[in-house]
Structure 1
Amino acid sequence: MEKKTIHVCTPALDGNEEKYVMDAVSTGWISSSGSYVNRFEEAFSKYCETEHGIAVTNGTVAIHLALTALGIGKGDKVIIPSFTMIATAFAVCYTGAMPVFVDADKETWNIDVKKIEEKIDEHTKAIIPVHIFGNPCDMDEINALAKKYGIYVIEDAAEAHGAIYKGRKVGSLSDVAAFSFFANKNITTGEGGMCVTNNTQIAEQCRYYKNMCFPLVGPRNYMHDNIGFNYRMSNLHAALGLAQVERADDYRAKRIYNHDLYLKELSDVPGIVFQKDEKDSVNVNWMNTIVIDPKKFGANRDEVIQRLKDNGVETRLLFNSMSKQKALKDYGCDCSGEYPVTDWLADNGFYMPSGSDLSEEDIHYVCQLIKDLHIKKVG
């Protein structure tokens, strides 16, 4: 009998995806022109409780576009978490600016707000808080610092579709926010991203730069005043996205439900540490992530991963610290200093299966494998 495989994350495509994509194909509107792009932008920005949405090709370029729209470039510094997907840092590098790293909070795993101010100087132009694994950052504290020093805030909300901070959706809590719609995200277009904002001027700059700096109004005369980018989303991807937004609350609820099941089954197992939700927030649990304390659990992280792999369960390691990335050192980033929480997460944590279509049976199976290993090791 063939061994069952439980994937880390597969997309749930159980709405109008096929209908909308086939409509785009049958009408011939498959490029960045076509009604689905505008409809997706409007639907998703409304979902985020913002006025404007600018659809782009992926989440990384969404961050780059937001930075460009704010005029950030060479000679500027941008504060980011040390614990994040490297796309956050790369997007800053694309502008010529310099990423500056701040360690994670031991409880929430988000950027440690208590350590941000010490990294701000006269060259700092923005902070990019990342809502790690769908857990909203402490945006009141971050926005207060930004106001004090006159700098921008750009939410990296790539993992946090529908997350809520003190009654407000992430994406609406900053000057501009960037989302990803990669296949493993709570809402997906396969590949894709979006900037959302309540600032009309920022939105217009995003639209201008994402389309090769063609004029926003009037005919195309093929004269360009600035260096722009081809970051346009296709109508096919937007058709998928519109269908996904229609089911966004269902997918959010399923991810939260899955996390609650994991928590119920594993929270009492010695040596297993879960991410703590930010106060007064709704964490949408993009990925179900645990950290293993080998002394208490009886086995280290790699042993747990191997046991799961041997039994058909996929996992993924967590992000390595930005301070340890050769690419960023070579770029010129200050990679000195200590980032102990980031290192602890990177050395001991991993993703368990987390897709919106994950079954209760699958979750129970994964948890039982982990619990059985603990019992085998400690007796």
Structure 2
Amino acid sequence: MRNARKTFLPFALPSISEEAIDEVTQVLRSGWITSGPKVKQFEQEFGKFIGASQAIAVNSATAGLHLALEAIGFDQNSAAITTSVTFTATAEVVCYFGGEPILTDVDPLYNNMDSRSLELSIKKFCYKKNNKLYSKKTKKLVRAVIPVHIAGATCDLESISAIAKKYGLYVIEDAAHAFPAIHKEQFIGTNGDFTVFSFYATKGITTGEGGMVTTPHSQFADRIRRTRLHGINKESFDRPSWYYEVTDAGYKYNMTDISAALGLVQLKEANGFWNRRREIANQYIQEFQNIPGLQLPSDFEWGSHSWHLFRIELDPSLAKVGRDTLCVELKDRNIGSSLHFIPIFEHSFYRKQFDYNREDYPNACKMYDRCLSLPLFAGMTNDDVSDVIRSVKEILY
């Protein structure tokens, strides 16, 4: 194969420094490795970084989304509106309660939920009664809207929030891709009722597995702190004695000090990681801008992209090859890629459970046929970036 790399380049890898390894090693030697002082410190430092008044660490973003819904009283008679283009976790947590995920289509440029797609789904799938929304299909009360900042491009939060306020809905932002994205001169995490971040291995910063919930509502923050660890009213490392009380039926969603120690160092390195991802994204945009049929991502007028992913779309009527061929030929050259995301309505579980109709989501279907994520992570070398650029040009020119 012409110009194939000698080693495989994944589409994403974590960047773990020696300082991070040393910090984790110290925790392992300390004797306190589960939830403790490092978790508390990580929460404080993360909240300070983005400007959030309340930050609660959990063991995954999925757990954070689940606990946010639980905090607002979501139950089997509830529904939530979310985007069709997201990872399964966003819709999955609604199903934990026996609730209904109502899907929106996406905008054609960023593939995010926007005010138009949200209003259209409300019109198609909901009815209004006493100024509240109910699902036409199941009669369940709509309690929340869950926008997702796909790839790190922020949604039109003001318009979405205005619609949510009109119907008394909570806004729970899925910001798994959006650290440290900026929206209207503020970091994501300071806008809605809840914002949920992911620290999975491929994210902007990592704790291996982990997540964070931010909220301005102290009563919800207090509840999430309890329910993340069995409903116990006092954190074990902070108890004055042996006594504690279980006040709620909780979950096992706590973060460990091992994870938090890694997160603390990653947080210090976050701006450097972000700058490198932006540098790579700008190189891609500059090099690929004249390729026929190739739609590129971009920054936007209301903020700054986190560049968690670099997602491209190929117009089959204009591009030299289609998305699937590009994926195969990149792999033949030892370059990885991925797709973000297979729409929720395409998965057999959701299709059977909720009887979604593909025709209701034309932009999501178009994205699914055309989209591919190219390698983008802070640890990429200049040679790695050059290999991707050269390979894409070879295939598409």
TM-score (norm 2): 0.90
Aligned residues: 374
Question: What letter matches 1:371 in structure 2?
Answer: K
1:116 to 105, 118, 123: 118
1:250 to 259, 272, 276: 272
Q: How has the CA–CA distance of structure 1 residues 118 and 301 changed in structure 2, closer, same or farther, with 3 Å as cutoff?
A: closer
Give distance in 1, aligned partners of 2:374 and 2:227. 38
Question: What letter matches 1:203 in structure 2?
Answer: A
1:85 to 84, 87, 91: 87
- Return the offset for 1:83: 0.6
Listed one character per residue, the Cα deviations across residues 192-237 of structure 1 (whole Å, up to 9, x for unaligned) are 1111112111110110111111124877767645321010111100
- Return the offset for 1:295: 2.2
- Return the offset for 1:96: 2.3
Matches within 5 A, 1:53-132: 53-120=55-122, 121-122=133-134, 123-132=141-150
Comparing 6-15 and 57-66, the one that deviates more? 6-15
Q: How has the CA–CA distance of structure 1 residues 336 and 287 changed in structure 2, closer, same or farther, with 3 Å as cutoff?
A: closer
Question: What letter matches 1:25 in structure 2?
Answer: L
Question: What letter matches 1:296 in structure 2?
Answer: L
Comparing 59-68 and 221-230, the one that deviates more? 221-230
Listed one character per residue, the Cα deviations across residues 313-351 of structure 1 (whole Å, up to 9, x for unaligned) are 011123111122221234336456421111111111111
Give distance in 2, aligned partners of 1:2 and 1:124. 51
Q: Which residue of 2 aligns with 1:22?
A: 25
Listed one character per residue, the Cα deviations across residues 156-210 of structure 1 (whole Å, up to 9, x for unaligned) are 0000101011111111110011111000001101111111112111110110111
Q: How has the CA–CA distance of structure 1 residues 2 and 245 changed in structure 2, closer, same or farther, with 3 Å as cutoff?
A: closer
TM-score (norm 1): 0.94
Q: Which residue of 2 aligns with 1:191?
A: 209
- Gap regions ≥5 residues in structure 2: 123-132, 135-140
Give distance in 2, aligned partners of 1:116 and 1:153. 12
Question: What letter matches 1:107 in structure 2?
Answer: L
8 Å CA contact 1:181, 1:192 repeated in 2: yes
Comparing 233-242 and 40-49, the one that deviates more? 40-49
Give distance in 2, aligned partners of 1:175 and 1:15. 37
Give distance in 2, aligned partners of 1:294 and 1:360. 30
Give distance in 1, aligned partners of 2:333 and 2:340. 21
Q: Which residue of 2 aligns with 1:134?
A: 152
Matches within 5 A, 1:220-259: 224-259=246-281
8 Å CA contact 1:324, 1:335 repeated in 2: no
Q: How has the CA–CA distance of structure 1 residues 308 and 174 changed in structure 2, closer, same or farther, with 3 Å as cutoff?
A: same
1:150 to 146, 151, 168: 168
Q: CA RMSD in A?
A: 1.9
Give distance in 1, aligned partners of 2:94 and 2:48. 27
Percent identity, aligned pairs only, is: 32
Give distance in 1, aligned partners of 2:247 and 2:380. 49
SS at structure 2 position matched to 1:16: helix
- Return the offset for 1:155: 0.7
